[in-house]
Chains A and B, each alone.
Chain A
Amino acid sequence: GDSVTQMEGPVTLSEEAFLTINCTYTATGYPSLFWYVQYPGEGLQLLLKATKADDKGSNKGFEATYRKETTSFHLEKGSVQVSDSAVYFCALNTGFQKLVFGTGTRLLVSP
Chain B
Amino acid sequence: DGGITQSPKYLFRKEGQNVTLSCEQNLNHDAMYWYRQDPGQGLRLIYYSQIVNDFQKGDIAEGYSVSREKKESFPLTVTSAQKNPTAFYLCASSLKDGGGNGYTFGSGTRLTVV
Smallest beta-carbon distance B49→chain A, Å: 11
Count contacts between A and B, CB distance < 8 Å. Answer: 62
* B85 close to A (CB within 8 Å): no
What is the number of residues of chain B that contact chain A, defined by CB distance less than 8 Å? 25
Contact of A93 among B90, B100, B107 (CB under 8 A): B100
Q: Is the CB of A46 within 8 A of B102?
A: yes
* B55 close to A (CB within 8 Å): no
Smallest beta-carbon distance B102→chain A, Å: 5
Smallest beta-carbon distance A21→chain B, Å: 14
Q: Is the CB of B99 within 8 A of A99?
A: yes
Quick one: which of B55-114 are within 8 Å of A by CB? 90, 92, 94, 96-108, 110
Closest to A48 in B: B102
Q: Is the CB of B100 within 8 A of A32?
A: yes
Contact of B99 among A41, A43, A93, A104 (CB under 8 A): A93
- Given A43-B90, A98-B33, A98-B48, the answer on whether A104 and B42 have CB atoms closer than 8 Å is yes
Contact of A34 among B45, B97, B102 (CB under 8 A): B102
Subset of 25 A-B contacts with CB under 8 Å: A32-B100, A34-B102, A41-B108, A42-B107, A43-B6, A44-B43, A44-B103, A46-B103, A46-B104, A49-B102, A89-B42, A93-B98, A93-B100, A95-B98, A96-B96, A96-B97, A96-B98, A97-B98, A97-B99, A98-B33, A99-B94, A99-B98, A101-B42, A104-B42, A104-B43
